[in-house]
Amino acid sequence: MKIKFGILKNSSDFKNLTEKGYRLNTEFFKLIISSINDGDNKIRLGFAIGKKTGKAVVRNTIKRRIKEIFRNINKTGSRSLDILVIVKKEINSLRYEELKSLIMQKVAKFL
């Protein structure tokens, strides 16, 4: 089934997600995930990346990589997910393949 993608933009979306979401921690990032049973089968992503992670080019590259990983997920089911990715500066040491496998391990049970 085709997945729709969106971006978390409103501060109220971030606030609801941080209050009610399920937290997953790794050495390189934190994920806060909340499922919504609206039948739309969509994923909305939000990012929190501090300036200590690197300059804007580095931060945008990290965001693009994470978005691409979630686009390639074969999602089953009809519930929507809101996901907040809080990036730590250690993520710069990861290659794309390592980042992808780490995200897939953490998110697998929600799909």
Tell me the pLDDT of the chain (111 aa) as tens digits: 567 788 898 999 899 999 999 999 999 999 999 987 776 778 899 999 999 999 999 999 999 999 999 888 766 666 788 999 999 999 999 999 999 999 999 988 887
- 87 SS3 class: strand
pTM of the model: 0.88
Q: In the chain, how many domains are there?
A: 1
DSSP states of 18-42:
HHHPEEEE-SSEEEEEEEE-SS--E
Q: Measured between alpha carbons, how far is 79 from 69 in angstroms, rounded to an integer?
A: 19
| Domain of 64, in residue numbers | 4-110
Rounded CA-CA distance 46/32 in Å is: 10
Looking up residue 9, the CATH number of its domain turns out to be 3.30.230.10
